[in-house]
Amino acid sequence: MPPLTRQGTLDSLELRAARSPKPAPPPCARAGESRAGLSWQRLLLVLLLAASPLAAQTEPRPAAPNERRAVIIDTDPGTDDAMAILLALSSPELDVRAFTVVPGNVTADQALDNALRLVSLAGRCDVPVAGGARRPLAQKLITAEFVHGENGLAGIELPAPGCAADARFAPDLIIDLVHAMPGEITLVPVGPLTNIALALLKDPTIVPLVKEVVIMGGSITEGNVTAVAEANIFNDPEAAELVFQAGWKVTMVGLDVTHKTNFGRQHLERLARTHGTLNDFATEVMAFLVELAADFGADGTPMHDPLAVGVVLDPSFVRTRHMRIDVETRGEHTRGATVGNRHNAVERNEPEGDRLKMTGIDRVEPNAHVAVEVDAERFLALFIERLRNR
């Protein structure tokens, strides 16, 4: 039986109500209230909303496009970031215009050094690598060497970088590239959203010029830092809120799908069957992550950042729901949560005397295509295939 998620709870509440339109109220309830404290009128409204076109349905996604997609990958390497970088550089469908580096999994300096070592290993000094923010917008930097190894790359010592860092500040490089290729660039942030937010704050005119923003981050079902917050959002919630509300096309590839995309021992065996510089490095990193997951009792490790790159390569790896996402920046237990409004609607309450009175339902604009289903095995097969003998 799948774990009972918050979504599951909501769905089953609605389902129960749908199956028996007007059950007798429990004796302990006040007149007109259900056990859950909802009036029957409100439940009816919830049901109407669920059935109305306002409710978000899952959307089919287009298959892999024929044309190459120009991308900027904003990253905090990081073990799974490293896998995302190698996947991107091994995929002819992608035209990687830059790697912009953000602190998160490791410090800004370590992340830049790691990104340079990775593009050097791939022999791709033609792709600019630029350092950016040194800390989140409004809180202390939180790093995660505990998960990624002391150097962020599973403790594996790659050769010193042969490629040099681009001198430009990452948010400036993003702005320049977006203006140089209007309508063509897909931003793929797979770390905290600080650099993207700084680019937005400095030049909001980039919004209509960006093709799409495919974010690895967030979740509408569970967290991996707190009960409800995912790391990339938790590590800079103010930046994330700016990015979600900017008005561009956002696809959120969060824990809802990355936690279903587990790379396990059987995948490791397949990856280890072939050899090459990138292939062997990927095998070592994935072995580290699979072992780490096993230490915590998990059968396989989630492919967070690689899946976001995979969704750009082939959007049909996931199904999405178009809904409103707001980032919680204040909650005592919920800071950094991506709050998904599955019905794209909120209750309208208006003053009447000394109280507020519900007078209807207001629509809220959806702002994100949230990935909710994934064809994990097809993606994992692509990942292994792309690194074969590389």
Question: Which residues belong to the active site?
Answer: 304
Q: Is 236 in the site for Ca ion (CB under 5 A)?
A: no
Please tell me the distance from the alpha carbon of residue 288 to that of residue 295, in angstroms, as a whole number: 11
Please tell me the distance from the alpha carbon of residue 85 to that of residue 77, in angstroms, as a whole number: 9
What is the per-residue binding string for Ca ion in 57-96, x denoting contact by CB under 5 A? -------------------x-x--x---------------
Please tell me the distance from the alpha carbon of residue 99 to that of residue 31, in angstroms, as a whole number: 60
Q: Is 142 in the site for ligand BDR (CB under 6 A)?
A: no
Cα–Cα distance list, 29 to 13, 35, 345 (Å)? 16, 6, 26
**To the nearest 10°, the Cα dihedral for 340, 342, 344, 347?**
-90
State yes or no: cis peptide before 78, omega within 30 of 0: yes
Within 47-66, the residues that bind ligand BDR by CB under 6 A are none
**Residue 152: CB minimum distance to ligand BDR, A:** 9
Stretch that binds ligand BDR, among 9-17, 61-69, 125-133, 229-237 (CB under 6 A): 229-237
What would the DSSP string read from start to end of 149-216?
A: -TTSSTT--PPPPSSPPBSS-HHHHHHHHHHHSTTTEEEEE-S-SHHHHHHHHH-GGGGGGEEEEEEE
Give Cβ neighbours of residue 228 (< 8 Å, ≥ 6 apart). 219, 222, 328, 333, 334, 336, 337
Q: Is 80 in the site for ligand BDR (CB under 6 A)?
A: yes
Query: Please, which residue, 79 or 120, has the CB nearer to Ca ion?
Result: 79
Within 317-356, the residues that bind ligand BDR by CB under 6 A are none
Give Cβ neighbours of residue 372 (< 8 Å, ≥ 6 apart). 58, 220, 256, 257, 318, 319, 320, 321
Exactly one of 56, 70, 163, 190 binds Ca ion (CB under 5 A); which one? 190
Distance of alpha carbon 204 from the chain centroid? 22
**Residue 156: CB minimum distance to ligand BDR, A:** 16
**Residue 187: CB minimum distance to Ca ion, A:** 14
Tokens of 277: 């510089």
Please tell me the distance from the alpha carbon of residue 266 to that of residue 259, in angstroms, as a whole number: 17
Q: Is 172 in the site for ligand BDR (CB under 6 A)?
A: no
Stretch that binds ligand BDR, among 63-71, 194-202, 224-232, 309-317 (CB under 6 A): 224-232
Please tell me the distance from the alpha carbon of residue 74 to that of residue 35, in angstroms, as a whole number: 47
Stretch that binds ligand BDR, among 61-69, 225-233, 262-270, 272-280 (CB under 6 A): 225-233
**Residue 191: CB minimum distance to Ca ion, A:** 4
Tokens of 287: 């072995």
Out of ligand BDR, Ca ion, none, which partner does residue 224 contact, by CB within 5 to 8 A per kind? Answer: ligand BDR
Tell me the site size for Ca ion, rule CB under 5 A.
Answer: 6
Element (H, E) at 253: strand 250-253
Q: Is 304 in the site for ligand BDR (CB under 6 A)?
A: yes
Out of Ca ion, ligand BDR, none, which partner does residue 121 contact, by CB within 5 to 8 A per kind? Answer: none
Exactly one of 71, 72, 74, 78 binds ligand BDR (CB under 6 A); which one? 78
**Residue 162: CB minimum distance to ligand BDR, A:** 24
Stretch that binds ligand BDR, among 29-37, 226-234, 315-323, 370-378 (CB under 6 A): 226-234
Which residue has tokens 């969060």? Answer: 254
- Site of interaction with ligand BDR (CB under 6 A): 78, 80-81, 105, 144, 190-191, 216, 224, 230-232, 304-305
